[in-house]
Amino acid sequence: MADKIKVGFLLLGGCAGCEMSVVDLSEKLVDALEHIEIVFWAPTVADVKYNDLESMEDKTIDVAFIDGMVRLDEHIHMAKVMRKKAKTLIAFGVCAALGGTAGLGSLHTKEDLFQKAFKNTPTTDNPDGIYPQPSCLVDGKYDLTLPAYEDKVRTLNQIVDVDYYIGGCPPHHSHVGAAIGALVSGQLPAKGSWITNGKAVCDVCTRNPAKQGGNLARTMVDKVLRTVDGTPDADTCLLQQGYICFGPITQGDCGGSCLNVNIPCRGCGGPIPGNEDYGAQALSTIGSILKDDTVTAQLMEKYPNLAKFFYRYALPSGTLPKRM
Amino acid sequence: MGTVINIAPITRIEGHAKIAIHLDDQGNVRDTFLHIQSLRGFEKFVEGRPAEEIPRIVTRICGICPWMHHLAANKAVDAAFGVTPPPAGHLLREICQLFAHITDKILHFFFLAAPDFILGPDADYSVRNVMGIVKAEPELAARVVKMRQLGQMMLERLAGKAIHPVAGVVGGFSRPMLEAERQELLRDAETLLDFSCYALDFAKDTVFTRYKDVISELGAITTGFLGTVDRDDGSLRLYDGRQRLMKADSSCIDFEGDRYADHIGEHVEPWSYGKMPYAKSWQEGFSLDPAAPAGIYRSNTLARINVCEKISTPKAQAELEEFRGVFGRPAQQTLLYHYTRLIELIYVCERAVELLQREDVTDTRIRAAAEPRAGRGVGIVEAPRGTLIHDYTTDSNGCITKANLIVGTTHNIGPMNMSVRRAATSLIKGGVYDAGLLNKVEMAVRAYDP
Ligand code: SF4
Ligand code: SF4
Ligand code: SF4
């Protein structure tokens, strides 16, 4: 038998949901252990520590998956370590690829975030106004350290070279399965690309007017609704009903999971290949199918702070002005 | 200055943390610190968002129990908008919560914690994980993997997305359950119930008896407890109920969720990104000294099992009685978290079967009309790792102006610090330690929080 492919998983500033998607492969993952050997999976699943990874020889890991965004100096350090140890590096999930939900934190200063978390919530009890510190001396004898908090959230490719991107928050387990299958069989696309089926969410959505004999692009949207406004019809296109849906600009490797339960897409799949800036693309695509200025005004009123709306998962990767 | 032993990162847990063990010149433990290393700023950046979007944003706080954040946020926004979901809306949400508890408990016990017990705390660290169990105990592993997958797929069938769900909506749930689905889910829930009884028997036979000494000593501390109980009969509740704060002497105060800020404070330390909740209403201040803790209570399974009067389902109730007969109430030994986790696994399976037997779960009235408005709402559910509190204030456009979140795990940050100190102090003497020993220190954390 050929040597097993050595795989590593490293979680940076994410929620581990991406890794749970790997666990969701279940029996398929157990079967895949015939072909792959997981040599590192921290902190979530295995006990090999950071210093063990540091002392591995360079390029000993064939494929490394990194999930989560970059916010702490420790994330930067570990991303660089993993880059050295891995032949192929995958930005796994929308946090690593584009910044993810927590990337919205970049719209606020570090001081704002700290003030909120450590001073201004009703239950916080902090009379001395203490903030977490990269290093501090406690009781005059304990030198304690914490990873330093960077000013902004960054995507993985803003720190190290990334070979492939996988979208989704998390990537759907069937998509993860397909990606691992491609790895094992060596059928990967050109370096630097997204691993995707190449379809938009609209392409996989059963509500697509094109599939129902209409034409999505030509039917202008004549009102904007929030999801709290009434109950959407369960069969027709949500966007056409006025419920803003990011299906047209989002990779559909999830199979339209949200649409299947009558909920509009918010774009976690990432941009359709070719579109670098998700939020800018979303803004222009959605903007262009609103019927007139009144409808545009309605959008601004219904969704104040459009940056947080259109860049729900992609802010740190975007180029539009980011200050509120 | 003496030596510092760093365990970085703590592994097989949910989240980022490290342990620093400070030794004195004789190589004995002077003190230990459990540093939480994550802050993403949700409370700040959700400001300005339309409140009904919040339940699908805050899920990203935790990829292991996103359902809990989803549901607590839904309940909080219901309250802020003054809307009451129809009965089937609540039922569908609760069923999802039960499924999520099922898969979480299987993950926590078998995938994350069990390698310490099945392969042994001193087993080679490079195989001391779930892949190691697959090799060492393929049959057990196959069954466990299948059962967790079944639970996840039940969620996916019912709610579309199992991880980072979207199906809970303000005023209820986004789709009804069809009769055919109900029958299938009921059959699957019965399968899981069988498995849950097997799981506890297995653990009693092979883990709790074999590791009796470890369980009674490792990281043992004495604290109060926080959980949720039924408003009428004090039985264990996960989706809705009254909060109960119990002192170590077993005296209790009950309160409604929206009064949480009267009872709970959050202490800040410069050496952790995680705040440490404590019982403000006990008026004894805050101290992590294991010999004389002040304000310290624990949450999660052991806490819930301690604070409840009883469990409303028969098999779990029988297990509760047996457990109390041996360990008393409140039980304090930290590793009993695993035992109570498996009692709770039986309860959530029984409860899922009970709800899926009800005809009204397929009612198509699942969502009440809601209108954005200015208001405030507190939503609380019991997450696998503890009482989860979401508190939102909205403006007249129904957008968030203020948010306060107390996440299940955080209640236990103080207690985990104490347990680590206890474990390290008793295990490390005269500067002698090895990898297996340090893993035992981590086991004190894994009891609470894999
Ligand atoms: S992409 Fe989503 S699931 Fe993955 S780490 Fe980020 S928030 Fe979690
Ligand atoms: S816009 Fe949304 S609802 Fe409409 S077809 Fe695309 S994905 Fe489906
Ligand atoms: S429908 Fe959109 S938001 Fe939902 S999972 Fe798919 S890509 Fe993500």
Q: Which of A41, A119, A124, A125 to mutate to test the interface with B (most CBs of B within 10 A)?
A: A125
pLDDT score of B40: 93
Question: What is the domain partition of chain B in residue ranges?
Answer: 1-37+426-450, 86-218+334-366
What's the mean per-residue pLDDT of chain A? 93
**For residue A241, is pLDDT > 60?**
yes
Q: What are the Cα distances from residue A290, in Å, to A214, A221, A224, A284?
A: 17, 5, 9, 10
Instruction: Please report which confidence band the pLDDT of residue A3 belongs to, taking 50, 70 and 90 as the band edges.
Output: confident
Q: What are the Cα distances from residue A200, in Å, to A6, A92, A204, A276?
A: 32, 19, 7, 15
**For residue A323, is pLDDT > 50?**
no
Does B166 contact A261 at a Cβ distance shorter than 8 Å? yes
Nearest to A117 among B12, B41, B265 (CB): B41
Chain A positions touching B371 (Cβ under 8 A) are: 228
Q: Is the CB–ligand 1 distance for residue A67 below 6 Å?
A: yes
pLDDT score of A324: 39
| Domain topology for B86-218+334-366 | Cytochrome-c3 Hydrogenase; chain B (1.10.645)
The model's pLDDT over A52-92, given as tens digits with 9 standing for 90+, comes to 999 999 999 999 999 999 999 999 999 999 999 999 999 99
Separation CA B172–CA B168 (nearest Å): 6
Chain B positions touching A258 (Cβ under 8 A) are: 160-161, 166
Q: Sign of the C-alpha dihedral, residues B277, B261, B369, A301?
A: negative
Does A130 contact B270 at a Cβ distance shorter than 8 Å? yes
Q: What are phi and psi of B400, to 5 degrees?
A: -70, 130
Widest distance between CA atoms in chain A? 75
Task: List b or e across B258-291, with b for residues whose CB sees 16 or more CB atoms inside 10 angstroms.
Answer: bebbebbbbbbbbbbbbbbbbbbebeeebbbebe
Write down the H helix ranges in A138-277.
173-185, 201-204, 238-241
**Which structure tokens are listed for B425?**
């102090």
Give the number of A-B residue pairs with CB atoms closer than 8 Å.
263
Q: Is the CB–ligand 3 distance for residue A312 below 6 Å?
A: no
Q: What are the Cα distances from residue A2, in Å, to A6, A87, A182, A184, A203?
A: 12, 18, 16, 11, 39
The CATH architecture that domain A5-101+151-185 belongs to is: 3-Layer(aba) Sandwich (3.40)
Ranges under pLDDT 50 in chain B = none
Nearest to A116 among B44, B111, B264 (CB): B44
Separation CA A104–CA A91 (nearest Å): 18
The model's pLDDT over A143-170, given as tens digits with 9 standing for 90+, comes to 999 999 999 999 999 999 999 999 999 9
Task: List b or e across B163-198, with b for residues whose CB sees 16 or more CB atoms inside 10 angstroms.
Answer: bbbbbbbbbbbbbbbeeebbeebbebbbebbebbbe
Q: B389 by DSSP, 3-state: which?
A: strand
Give the position, in ligand 1's atom list, of the atom nearest the Cα of B60.
Answer: 7
Q: Which of A72, A261, A313 to mutate to test the interface with B (most CBs of B within 10 A)?
A: A261
Nearest to A197 by CA among A183, A185, A179: A179
Question: What is the domain partition of chain A in residue ranges?
Answer: 5-101+151-185, 110-150, 201-322
pLDDT more than 70, % of chain A: 96
pLDDT score of B206: 87
pLDDT score of A58: 98
Chain A positions touching B63 (Cβ under 8 A) are: 14-20, 170
Q: What are the Cα distances from residue B274, in Å, to A143, B166, B255, B407?
A: 18, 27, 25, 10
Q: A10 by DSSP, 3-state: which?
A: strand
Distance B192 CA to ligand 1 centre (A): 28
Neighbours of A144 (CB within 10 A): 19
Spatial CB neighbours of A186, under 8 Å, sequence gap ≥ 6: none
**For residue A48, is pLDDT > 80?**
yes
**Which structure tokens are listed for A276?**
């670098």
**A264, A244 Cβ separation under 8 angstroms:** yes
Spatial CB neighbours of B321, under 8 Å, sequence gap ≥ 6: none
Spatial CB neighbours of A321, under 8 Å, sequence gap ≥ 6: none
ipTM, two decimals, is 0.96
The H or E element that residue B382 is part of is strand B375-383
**Which structure tokens are listed for B198?**
């097997």
Instruction: Please report which confidence band the pLDDT of residue A184 belongs to, taking 50, 70 and 90 as the band edges.
Output: confident
Q: Is the CB–ligand 1 distance for residue A68 below 6 Å?
A: yes
Nearest to B329 by CA among B347, B307, B362, B358: B307
pLDDT score of A321: 47
Spatial CB neighbours of A61, under 8 Å, sequence gap ≥ 6: A6, A7, A8, A39, A40, A82, A85, A86, A87
Half-sphere exposure of B188 (CA within 13 A, CB side): 23
Strands A149-154 and A70-72: antiparallel
